[in-house]
Amino acid sequence: MTHTLEVDSIILNFGLRRILSDIYIKCETGKITTFAGRNGTGKSCLLNIILGKLAPLSKSVRIDGRPIKAAYPAINYLPQTHFVPAGLSTRRVFSDYQIDLDEFLHHFPETKNRIKHRFRQLSGGERRLIEVYILIKAPAKFTLLDEPFSQIMPVQVEKIKPIIQAERTKGFLITDHLYKDVIDISDNGYLLQAGKTWRVRDMASLEELQARGYISTI
Ligand SMILES: Nc1ncnc2c1ncn2[C@@H]1O[C@H](COP(=O)(O)OP(=O)(O)OP(=O)(O)O)[C@@H](O)[C@H]1O
């Protein structure tokens, strides 16, 4: 059965400044949805509204047509900042989140010698890789990934993309400035500009994103 996450009727102001006003996003299980937009347009704010962490003047967040009272456990979220407690041993991180360490090492054998360290002893990129992997694998109907590819080595980004694609029971909503990587795996997408979302009919052609000035035509 396909599940649907829909967001609309959002009005968000900070002081006199209107950040979000004309929003519609639909995310379905089995699909990867890109949520693009320039710095400061309000992408993280919208993700936080979906999660119930930020209260706008109005909002409607629905799963299968019904307004949700709480995001957890249906919706998981990868923030831009590190979320795993740094004092844990790296092995403990995998066991606490109930994620198969051997499978992770199968995908990323280059990290094998790093697993014996505490999480805080890993580099920012190594921590980010593990946090992204945990969120991709953790059970949820919908997973919101805020900038999952930043800080991660390009060769590892190439490995992460098919891992996301393989999680076909989930719906992913992904924002990332490395738009080529997200578009590469996305089924549909939206562009946030001037407080409004625009549905992008054909992400792969890049023409609509160029026409709206999100990416350069060169
Ligand atoms: N608590 C707040 N008070 C006032 N302004 C805020 C607050 N939080 C965010 N903003 C402003 O709202 C705008 C949208 O912020 P947001 O972080 O959602 O942008 P973004 O699209 O996620 O940016 P980026 O791509 O750089 O992460 C920004 O101009 C930001 O400065």
CA atoms of 128 and 84, how far apart (whole Å):
9
Decide: 42 in ligand 1 pocket, CB within 6 A: yes
Q: Which atom of ligand 1 is nearest to the CA of 37?
A: 21
Q: If you count them, how many residues does the chain have?
A: 218
Answer for the pair 132, 148: CB distance below 8 angstroms, yes or no: yes
Per-residue pLDDT, 30 = 97
Decide: 43 in ligand 1 pocket, CB within 6 A: yes
Q: Which atom of ligand 1 is nearest to the CA of 80?
A: 27
> Domain-by-domain residue ranges, the chain?
4-211
CA atoms of 174 and 43, how far apart (whole Å):
10
CATH superfamily for 4-211 is P-loop containing nucleotide triphosphate hydrolases (3.40.50.300)
CA atoms of 179 and 169, how far apart (whole Å):
23
CA atoms of 30 and 13, how far apart (whole Å):
33
Ligand 1, atom 14: nearest CA belongs to which residue?
A: 42
**Average pLDDT along the chain, 218 residues, taken 10 residues at a time:** 96 96 96 94 96 96 96 94 93 94 97 93 96 96 96 96 96 89 91 94 82 77
Task: List, as own/partner pairs, every contact residues 71-75 make where C-beta atoms lie below 8 angstroms and the sequence separation is at least 24, other chains included.
Answer: 73/139, 73/140, 74/140, 74/141, 74/142, 75/5, 75/50, 75/51, 75/140, 75/141, 75/142, 75/143, 75/144
ipTM of the complex: 0.96
Per-residue pLDDT, 36 = 92
